[in-house]
Structure 1
Amino acid sequence: MDYTGEGLSEAQVAPTPWQQARLWVEEAIARSEAQGDVPEPTAISVATVDAAGMPNVRTVLMRFFDDRGPGFVTATVSAKGQEIGATGGIAAALTWPSMFRAIRFRGQAQALTREEVQGYFFSRPWASRISAWASQQSQPVAGRDELEAAYDRYAAQYPDHGNPDDVPVPEFWGGWRVLCDEVEFWGGRRNRLHDRLVFTRTGEGTLDDADSWSLSRRQP
């Protein structure tokens, strides 16, 4: 397959990785709404490594996105939570095949604050808050009946009265932000001569601090 994307040149790229990432995310969301060929535009693949050095990857929804880095929520006792605890390293990728674009983030995981977690948790639909209690994420389960029975128990324990705090935030529920050391923008082009422009951290500033990043190109 020959990719027909516009790619990304040094003359086009924004001054900071945050500005360029925000632009592409906004364009992906807009295209999803207008054309429908970008399903789940904020779905982000998260890669970690366990204590034995084995890699693992899974796709979640990006629930936080600002100049500190992309963030997501999860059960902290899940496989990803345990692996982050073991090494601290993390990588993540946003991919939009129909747009011939992708963004890769690499760095260290930083736990979200409890205030951030609570703020997001209380914005979720009641059923999603119940499922956070019912699912012992990444643990084995005998069958779907067992999972649905757990859901019913917690639904009875925390009935829906229409209030954000009808369901408390589980102690084992939280999330992480990727504190990036590197952000790569991939743009597909014809003849497999794709663009790979990489921002590499050189200072302590945020993703929107131009003085904290250097820009280079990698071969495809």
Structure 2
Amino acid sequence: MRVGYGGGIPPNVGEGDRAAGADGVRENLDPTWLRGDPPWLDLFTVWLREAIEARIAEPNAMVLGTTDAAGRPSTRAVLCKGVGADGVVFYTGYDSDKGHDLAANPYAAVTFPWIALERQVHFRGPVEHVTMEETQEYWYMRPRGSQLSAYASQQSEPIGSRIELEERAAAAAAQFGGFDEGAEVPVPPSWGGFRLVPEVVEFWQGRANRLHNRVRLTRTDTRWEAVRLQP
């Protein structure tokens, strides 16, 4: 179902940067906004900060798209746990559905859907494992309950009931001395991080009458190239 269509010709056609969008932001996204090394990082950082300041629910949530060995796509929401010049990082079980997909086809796409701000940022590129040191550093920053849940769960495998799942978590807590305190919970051997190394980065900004702004960066062998796309 499509909703919210405007009618007729946009009243602000030809006004360029003076035309306020549907979000009330007057400045139109432009390729000149993308600069630095890499040129997408500064603007992404600003938009993420503004999503946090706007109290967007789970501002670091992103939709991750993968394909299995037969080329069938799958998407799910995951939490981004790091963004830097070298890429976008998330953590999961390597034996999960997405882990199997990435083992078969180590290429993925992620989209940050800041819908309330009428903004999206999309990344595409090859995916690699982060180092064990990076995984351990992040693991020991996690709350103990999250560590125990990850240790207890055989991610994406069937289980008979919710009670059985809770019993597995309770057994893991007992093994390490309790939910609130106890022995250090080790990183599960089949759990860790992935890094998407961007080849394509696209910024999307909502505008009135669905005359949206899109700017895409594509990495070549020597540099990044930015172009404006029609909506």
- The normalised TM-score by structure 2 is 0.85
Instruction: Please state if 1:8 is matched with 2:29.
Output: yes
- Pick the aligned partner of 1:21 from 44, 62, 74: 44
Residue number in structure 2 paired with 1:207: none
Aligned-pair CA distance for 1:137: 0.8
- Using the aligned pairs only, state the percent identity: 38
CA RMSD of aligned residues (A): 1.6
Aligned-pair CA distance for 1:168: 0.5
Aligned-pair CA distance for 1:25: 1.0
- Pick the aligned partner of 1:168 from 186, 199, 205: 186
Q: Is the 8 A contact 2:30 2:228 kept in 1?
A: no
Q: 1:12 to 1:18 in 2, by over 3 A?
A: closer
Letter in 2 for 1:9: D
Aligned-pair CA distance for 1:162: 4.5
Q: Is the 8 A contact 2:40 2:201 kept in 1?
A: yes
**Alignment map for 1:59-208 (pairs within 5 Å):** 59-160=77-178, 162=181, 166-203=184-221
Aligned-pair CA distance for 1:43: 0.4
* Distance in 2, Cα, partners of 1:64 & 1:112: 11
Runs of 4+ in 1 over 6 A off after TM superposition: none
Deviations 1:183-219 (A, max 9, x none): 000000011110110010013xxxxxxx621101111
- Structure 2 residue matching 1:106: 3-state secondary structure: strand
- The normalised TM-score by structure 1 is 0.89
Letter in 1 for 2:31: E
* Distance in 2, Cα, partners of 1:182 & 1:190: 26
- Structure 1 residue matching 2:170: 3-state secondary structure: helix
Residue number in structure 2 paired with 1:212: 223
Q: Which has the higher contact order (CA 8 A, sep 6+)?
A: 1
Matched residues, number: 207
- Structure 2 residue matching 1:180: 3-state secondary structure: coil
- Structure 1 residue matching 2:50: 3-state secondary structure: helix
* Distance in 1, Cα, partners of 2:87 & 2:32: 24
* Distance in 2, Cα, partners of 1:76 & 1:30: 33
Q: Mark the structure with the bigger radius of gyration.
A: 2
Deviations 1:133-161 (A, max 9, x none): 11111111111011011001100001247
Letter in 1 for 2:40: P
* Distance in 2, Cα, partners of 1:117 & 1:69: 15
Aligned-pair CA distance for 1:14: 4.1
Residue number in structure 1 paired with 2:16: none
Aligned-pair CA distance for 1:78: 0.2
**Alignment map for 1:29-40 (pairs within 5 Å):** 29-32=52-55, 38-40=56-58
Deviations 1:85-143 (A, max 9, x none): 00111000111111000000000101011011111111111111000011111111111
* Structure 2 unpaired stretches of 5+: 7-20
* Distance in 1, Cα, partners of 2:95 & 2:195: 16
